[in-house]
Amino acid sequence: MRVSGSVVVIAVLDGGSGAGLARRFAAAGTAGMLIADQYAGIAEDLAAELDRPGCPVVGVCGDIRRPSDVAALVDTAEKHLGPIDLFAVAGPDGERIISLADLPDHLDLERLAELVLLVGEAIGELVPPQRRPERTATAA
């Protein structure tokens, strides 16, 4: 997996921390990172700390358990950093890195659905069933 020169999205789940992962990616020479945390301010503060010439870092608030938030992360990363190479999920029980080498430079809806599926699998690997938050239906 090529890290140097890659654009990376790091999504942090409740109970996880993306700080160490983001620092490792920065040290390995990534071309840019988008860090997402579901709590406002956390990703933005980390992005401000790590942002440097040659490796812009963007921090946003988002919950990757929601497909619409995954779509927004992809759009934001591509707008500010270019095509995504790696998508990392940091959860309470570890990290999972997904290489997007097989996906096209621009994620259309079909490819985005594939990414959402991969992200869902990564979440399942990092969060034991008894620790997953209950999903409740909300009225639209």
Q: What is the spatial distance between Cα 82 and Cα 59, in angstroms, rounded to a whole number?
A: 15
**pLDDT for 80:** 95
Does 7-105 carry CATH code 3.20.20.70? no
- 13, 91 in Cβ contact below 8 A? yes
Digit-by-digit pLDDT tens for the chain (140 residues) are 688 999 999 999 888 888 999 999 999 999 999 999 999 899 999 999 999 999 999 999 998 888 888 889 888 999 999 988 898 989 888 888 888 775 555 556 566 667 777 777 777 766 665 454 554 444 44
Closest Cα partner for 114 from 127, 133, 101?
Answer: 101
32 by DSSP, 3-state: which?
Answer: strand
